[in-house]
Amino acid sequence: MNFIKKFKNKHVFNQESKDELPKFKNNDLVRYRIVFSGIVQHVGFRFEAEQMAVKLQLTGWVKNLANGTVEMEIQGSDKKIDSLLQYMNSLKWIEIDRMSKDPLLVLHGEKNFDVRQ
């Protein structure tokens, strides 16, 4: 198990150093509840989402659901959230078949993005 974790960490570090983020203007904060279906569990989905959300300075959380989907609440600018979603769709080992995106009220004072169990 440690081998897999070290391999993932090395891959993400190498990948992050290659990624250049677009320049974003400060926009109004929005928050969404997004549910992802497809090959989204046991493939590093939550870990990848967390790494990119932190990089993009988004807040919220992500967790696996018992029915095999992944649920996320994400907050930030629409452009940054769209950038995270495009990134997740670009990963070859993750296959998002369906995504529902519902607006929520902004949570003022939220500072982190977390992986929940």
**How many Å is the maximal CA-CA distance in the chain?**
42
In whole angstroms, give the CA distance from residue 73 to residue 68: 17
In whole angstroms, give the CA distance from residue 36 to residue 26: 27
Measured from the Cβ of residue 50, the count of other Cβ atoms closer than 10 Å reads 20
* 89 is known as an active-site residue: no
Residue 82, class by beta-carbon neighbours within 10 Å (0-12 exposed, 13-18 middle, 19+ buried)? exposed
Q: Do 114 and 50 touch, CB atoms closer than 8 A?
A: yes
* 26, 27, 31, 64: the active-site residue: 64
* 33, 46, 89, 98: the active-site residue: 46
* 46 is known as an active-site residue: yes
What positions carry a catalytic annotation? Answer: 46, 64
